[in-house]
Amino acid sequence: MGKGPDFEREIPKELSLWWTNGERDDVFWRVKGSGSRAKSRLRKHGKTTYGQHGDIKAEDPIGVPLLKVVTLELKRGYKKWSFLDVLDRPPMRKGQKNRTLQPFEEFMEQVQEDCEAYGTCPCLICKRDKRQKFVVIPLMLFADMQCRIGEYYGFTITIEESSIIKQPMIALNYKQFFSWCKPSFFKNHPKNRRRRTK
């Protein structure tokens, strides 16, 4: 059994416990085939598939508010890669039209496709071999969180936008982020407020 499937089982359980204040570990679960059916329908027919985008879905409706705000993409392993790969790679040569995408750019391309279709923000949860887990979210979403939750004092890395990365992103330690971030931010997010009827 590979590390990826183990990671895809571990994260939904941890998110469920965070979402329910330690009461339940079964609110979220991994999407079968990592959302391949949803991607196929979107690319071939331009159709969205309810609850099947990204790598994590809500098994219980109480988890839906989180997924109305973010699309969760999980990445485990991928050997040696770093945000520095985007920063310090050689410049394009004269006459060169395309360049090899770095692993982080590939991750972002994948999650951004879903986000554009479903109107959500990208949220990557990654773990390199023998390293701690981390979270990558849009800088704008993080700024909104700080306004509503309070100052975040952990270490962060900002990733600027580019032709591939559509908006500035920020990387944070997974444990520190989920200790600080409150489910109420998502539950009370404007995307989860009912429309007023006349």
Q: What is the pLDDT of residue 46?
A: 54
Per-residue pLDDT of the chain (198 residues; tens, 9 = 90+): 456 678 999 999 999 999 999 999 999 999 975 445 444 545 554 555 555 579 999 999 999 999 999 999 999 988 788 888 888 887 777 777 777 889 999 999 999 998 998 899 999 999 998 899 999 999 999 999 999 999 999 999 999 998 899 999 999 999 999 999 999 999 999 999 865 444
Q: What is the pLDDT of residue 95?
A: 72
Q: What is the pLDDT of residue 78?
A: 80
Closest CA to 121 of 103, 144, 105, 137: 137
Q: What is the pLDDT of residue 148?
A: 95
CA–CA distance, 61 with 50 (Å, rounded to integer): 12
Q: What is the pLDDT of residue 90?
A: 76
Dihedral (CA of 14, 19, 24, 27) sign: negative
> CB neighbours of 104 closer than 8 A, spacing ≥ 6?
81, 83, 85, 86, 159, 165
Give residue 147's Cα distance to chain centre.
20
Q: b vs e for 11-34, b when ≥16 Cβ sit within 10 Å of the residue's Cβ?
A: bbebbbbbbbeeeeeebbbbbeeb
Q: Are 42 and 117 in contact (CB under 8 A)?
A: yes
Q: What is the pLDDT of residue 35?
A: 45
Cβ neighbours of 67 (radius 10 Å)? 20
7: tokens are 């990671």
